[in-house]
């Protein structure tokens, strides 16, 4: 059983930046970030392979967000730049017990992840 704790959320003005962290209680394999805005379904944001060599991004965040990991600290980061009001949501990290070159469709599917954090709120004001 892996526990995930997100941190780093907050209130920021449009154009600003935030860095989210996802701290795991143990080693993790693939890790993804998802977000859920009020009244909307949880959607994929970014994911990273176990060794960090492969990353995936939703089109809406590509070029603005960067996912990375520090396996020595069991932590995954999401650097978010050029934030927009449309990025406002609760951000969740999730960990899967699988690995391999499974492709974007697999990494972006929330049903493939086994463990979830409680989420951290990100609010972007105009």
Task: Render pLDDT for 18-76 as a digit per residue (tens, 0 to 9).
Answer: 999 999 999 999 999 999 999 999 999 999 999 999 999 999 999 999 999 999 999 99
C-alpha 100/C-alpha 87 separation (Å) is: 29
Residue 99's pLDDT band (cuts 50, 70, 90): confident
C-alpha 19/C-alpha 17 separation (Å) is: 7
* Structure token pair of residue 54: 């492969």
Q: Phi/psi of residue 110, each to 5°?
A: -65, -20
CA dihedral in degrees (34, 66, 64, 100; nearest 10)? Answer: -60
């Amino acid at each position: 059983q892996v526990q995930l704790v997100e941190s780093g959320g907050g209130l920021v003005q449009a154009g600003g930046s935030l860095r989210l962290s996802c701290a795991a209680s143990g080693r993790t394999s693939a890790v993804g970030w998802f977000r859920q805005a009020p009244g909307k379904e949880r959607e994929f944001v970014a994911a990273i392979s176990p060794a960090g060599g492969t990353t995936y991004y939703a089109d809406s965040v590509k070029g603005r967000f960067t996912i990375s990991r520090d396996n020595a600290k069991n932590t995954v980061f999401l650097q978010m730049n050029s934030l927009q009001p449309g990025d406002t949501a609760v951000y969740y990290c999730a960990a899967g017990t699988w690995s391999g070159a499974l492709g974007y469709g697999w990494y972006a599917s929330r049903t493939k992840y086994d463990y979830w954090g409680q989420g951290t709120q990100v609010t972007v004001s105009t």
